[in-house]
């Protein structure tokens, strides 16, 4: 048996565990809301989180990290505008390691899959670096939007001031 076989076999449990760990990074009120509201229209963030966990997990299993990661980009953009520190914004990726270890630890040990497990964790680490770059890009865009808005407001105020002085 290979690590990928275990990751595929137990993917529902692992993804649920990972999603729970991600939700724990939010405030208590948000956690309750995400867990209790299943309707995607009442809880668009929770629905997006579930979808993104599915897609990111599949990407890691398939090992297609060199391709663009739309689900990861979407996830990171969401976290970039929320009240997270940079490390907290991307740490959700590392919580996948914890979820996998909790679900598969005994089988990894009994099947002597430690090396394959480390290789999978290396994929997670590479994904973390991609997420960091995406986070930095997202924050840069946010700052640029804010700077452009300040310039626009300043220009409008200056124009209004000049029209009042005439």
Alpha helices in the chain (DSSP H): 3-9, 11-23, 28-36, 44-62, 70-81, 86-90, 94-110, 114-165
d(CA 58, CA 60): 5
Residue 27: its pLDDT value, please?
86
What's the pTM?
Answer: 0.81
pLDDT lower than 70: segments of the chain: 37-38, 66-68, 164-166
Residue 137: its pLDDT value, please?
92
What are the pLDDT digits (tens) for 138-161? 989 988 888 888 888 887 777 777
Residue 35: its pLDDT value, please?
76
């Amino acid at each position: 048996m290979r690590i990928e076989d275990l990751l595929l076999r137990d993917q529902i449990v692992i993804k649920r565990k990972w999603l729970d760990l991600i939700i724990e990074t939010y405030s208590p009120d948000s956690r309750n809301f995400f867990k209790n509201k299943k309707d995607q229209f009442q809880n668009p963030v929770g629905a997006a989180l579930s979808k993104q966990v599915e897609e990111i997990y599949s990407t890691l299993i398939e090992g297609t990290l060199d391709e663009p990661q739309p689900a990861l980009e979407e996830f990171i953009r969401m976290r970039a505008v929320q009240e997270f520190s940079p490390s907290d914004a991307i740490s959700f990726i590392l919580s996948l390691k914890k979820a996998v270890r909790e679900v598969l630890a005994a089988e990894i040990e009994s099947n002597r899959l430690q090396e394959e497990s480390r290789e999978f964790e290396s994929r997670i680490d590479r994904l973390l670096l991609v997420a960091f770059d995406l986070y930095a890009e997202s924050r840069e865009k946010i700052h640029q939007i804010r700077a452009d808005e300040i310039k626009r407001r300043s220009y409008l105020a200056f124009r209004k001031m000049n029209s009042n002085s005439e």
